[in-house]
Amino acid sequence: MTHESPTPWNNPADTSTAAVPAQQPPVVPNTPAAERRQPALDIQGLVKVFRDKVAVDGINLTVPRGSFYGLVGRNGAGKTTTLSMSTGMLRPTQGQVFIDGTDVWLQPREAKKKVGVLPDGVYLFDKLTGEQLITYAGRLHGLDKATVAERTADLLTAMDLQEAAGRRVSDYSAGMTKKVALAVAMIHAPSLLVLDEPFEAVDPVSASNIQDILKAYVAGGGTVILSSHVMDLVQRLCDHVAIMNQGRIVAAGSLDEVRAGSSLEERFVDLVGGRVKSEGISWLSHS
């Protein structure tokens, strides 16, 4: 990554995240200043029903701008369904989602400019090389060729994919695919990144590199919301967390508020339950 040019997600020309003085008049809706103080993501009364299965059961969640937000929950808690509805990929049964004040389902084009998404189970045009894929994503977002070339080179370096840049994505490992998908999500310098299990299948060195990239992105005014099952990682990385269980948010807020003096894992198990006391499976024993 060059030092001369700002990273695509940390452009000093972007003053939209400038600190607001403490003594401000009340916020007047629909003014630029008010827009700047909108939450990065605002979920209101979100419901998803699949046939007779209530996957998401009327959740409300506010993700403050500039936060590093972790969404945790057991398998099937509703995390992917929530994130998919929040990014315009899955139509809600009920409820509204706003990205930076823009209604995702009423103004999808506007909303999608503001968000980068790493979906669960990534579907990519994998006959393209990594470099072609990132370039294609940048061009789809309407960026000019020179900008796309510069950002693509930066992202390939940041993701440690320079050597694989000319290989087809179909030949990438699971972790490399995750990294190229993350680059695709970041090429248009969105103000919000929504990442479903970003570290799954990623090796520890690459995971640390990605974490550094995300921390820099947040330090530069971006907002990240990620889902994960790894409590230690969320506790280390995130400043806010929401715990989902059976389609509902059972705790949300700053990490310290949610932990309430315990570790996140202890708090999670307390709230969600489901620990099975077991002597083990008898037929697996060889003693």
Ligand X SMILES: Nc1ncnc2c1ncn2[C@@H]1O[C@H](COP(=O)(O)OP(=O)(O)OP(=O)(O)O)[C@@H](O)[C@H]1O
Site residues (vs ligand X, CB under 6 A): 50, 53, 55, 73, 75-81
The number of residues in the chain equals 287
Scanning the structure block, which residue is given the tokens 């040019």?
5
The minimum distance between CB 184 and ligand X, in angstroms, equals: 21
Strand bridging mode 94-99 / 68-73: unpaired
- Secondary structure (3-state) at 142: coil
Contact partners, residue 223, CB within 8 Å, separation at least 6: 40, 41, 63, 64, 65, 66, 67, 68, 69, 191, 192, 193
Shorter beta-carbon distance to ligand X: residue 164 or 272:
272
What is the smallest separation between the CB atom of 250 and ligand X, expressed in angstroms?
13
Q: How far is the CB of 71 from ligand X (least distance, A)?
A: 9
Which of 148/224 has CB closer to ligand X? Answer: 224
Query: Quick count: other Cβ atoms within 10 Å of Cβ 172?
Result: 21
In our burial notation (b when 16+ CB lie closer than 10 A, e otherwise), range 252-266 reads: beebeebbeeeebee
Nearer to ligand X, 52 or 144 (CB): 52
Q: Are strands 192-196 and 115-118 parallel, antiparallel or unpaired?
A: parallel
Structure tokens at 132: 């072609």
| Residue among 35 and 57 whose Cβ is closer to ligand X | 57
Nearest residue (CB) to ligand X, 77 versus 237: 77
Rounded least distance, CB 198 to ligand X, Å: 13
Minimum distance from residue 159 beta carbon to ligand X (Å): 23
Minimum Å distance from CB 56 to ligand X?
7
Nearer to ligand X, 213 or 272 (CB): 272
CB of 176 to ligand X, least distance (A): 21
Q: Torsions phi, psi of 72, nearest 5?
A: -120, 155
Contact status, residue 55 vs residue 91, Cβ threshold 8 Å: no
Q: Nearer Cβ to ligand X, position 53 or 236?
A: 53
Burial class (CB in 10 A: 0-12, 13-18, 19+), 205: exposed
Q: Which is nearer to ligand X, 137 or 249 (CB)?
A: 249
Range list of H helices, 141-286? 145-158, 174-186, 204-219, 231-237, 255-259, 264-272
Side chain identity at residue 243, one-letter code: I
Smallest distance, Å, CB 77 to ligand X? 4
